[in-house]
Structure 1
Amino acid sequence: MSATEYDKMLAGQWYSCIDDRLEALRMRARHAVFAHNSMSPDDRQQLSTPLADLIAQHGENCMIEVPFHCSYGFNIHLGDAVYLNAGCIILDSAPVVIGSRTMIGPGAQILCAQHHKDRDKRKAGIEIARPVTLGDDVWIGAGAIIMPGVRIGDGAIVGAGAVVTRDVAAGQSVIGVPARRM
């Protein structure tokens, strides 16, 4: 029996994102995100029920401001007291682990999918997903972009607008495009 596109995605293999099962899972996430983004602020004091039911795991006292977007949700793991500011995007085709007390600024993006470089394969929706890990007490500045496969160590700081293409060591601060040590 051959692996499904879903199985290949979860295994970190090349897969086609143009797939009915994956589309159904993205639609489930769109509905939960829509419900979260449409809620009264009073109902979003902590992680809202639609997102709490969607994401893989979350600690206590997490807050996700609106608007928020994610691809699937089931690959997102949040520690305690994680804060995602307005406009955060997490394209979680692979696991995204965000450590406790990590703060992510407005408009920041965490991306896991890497599209194929071959034009015909790209047209066919072929991509590969690489996990992203943010340690505890990380600060991601406004508009920063975290690329597929990046690991950011505990206590690290990513400056506003940085594009992080490589791992960032614990306690290190990076800025720029591509992000470099300060």
Structure 2
Amino acid sequence: MNHKERMLANLPYRSWLDGLSEERMECKKKVFAYNNLPPDAVEEREKLLREILGKTKEGYLNIESPFHCDYGYNIEVGTGFFANYNFIILDVGKVRIGDNFMCGPNVQICTAGHPLHPETRNSGYEYGIDITIGDNVWIGGNVLVCPGVTIGNNVVIGGGSVVTKDIPDNMLAYGNPCRVVREITEADRDFYFRDRKFDVDDYK
């Protein structure tokens, strides 16, 4: 197994070997081009974004600039995808995101990590562990999603959270470390913010 194969298998690997440095550089060039396109170049931006990402679906896709990732090809996203400013994905491992995803600014999805012991860490070995995010997920601003995490369907992650463990379906979770606070239920349907009810009917 070469070091790229080890990386893709979630095994310890060295990031400068077997063409990985060159692949990251190619991704950086595309990301730089994307981040420097004019905001009204909507079609060109979407076309380039689909080239950067490994797998996308038809339908709405938008990431506000600036956006950064390592390889791009390790990222799979669904339809109805929106990420706000300063979105970062360290896609050393696979990142799979479902349909109707949205996130606030300064969100980081980081599959990458380094060994705990300093001598082992100084050996140059690092790792990436896959992250999976389900359908209909909203992640608030300044959230960090750590390696190996799975976030279920219909989940809301509150702003500023550090997600170190899996979050089940249909949950509101927040904090550092992020913890499930309660289930999202039918009773939440009529409220747009805390105890504030909708004053219109076309949200249903």
* Common topology (TM > 0.5): yes
Q: Aligned AA for 1:25?
A: E
Q: Indicate which of 32, 43, 51 corresponds to 2:41.
A: 43
More contact order relative to length (CA 8 Å, sep ≥ 6): 1
Normalised TM-score (structure 1): 0.94
Normalised TM-score (structure 2): 0.84
- 3-state SS, counterpart of residue 113 of structure 2: strand
If you compute each CA radius of gyration, which structure gives the higher value, 1 or 2?
Answer: 2
Q: Indicate which of 16, 19, 22 corresponds to 1:18.
A: 16
Partner residue, 1:109: 108
Residues 83-102 of structure 1 mapped to structure 2, 5 A cutoff: 83-102=82-101
Q: Which runs of 5+ in 2 are unaligned?
A: 182-204
- 3-state SS, counterpart of residue 89 of structure 2: strand
Mapped partners of 1:133, 1:104: distance in 2: 15
Q: Aligned AA for 1:102?
A: F
Indicate conservation of the 8 Å contact 1:46/1:63, yes or no.
no
Indicate conservation of the 8 Å contact 1:45/1:63, yes or no.
no
Shift of 1:123: 2.0
Mapped partners of 2:63, 2:45: distance in 1: 6
Shift of 1:20: 5.5
- 3-state SS, counterpart of residue 94 of structure 1: coil
Q: How many residues are aligned here?
A: 180
Q: Which runs of 5+ in 1 are unaligned?
A: none
Shift of 1:124: 3.0
Identical positions, percent: 36
Q: Tell me whether 1:131 sits opposite 2:130 in the alignment.
A: yes
Shift of 1:127: 1.2
Partner residue, 2:192: none
Moved over 4 A (4+): none
Partner residue, 2:188: none
Shift of 1:46: 7.9
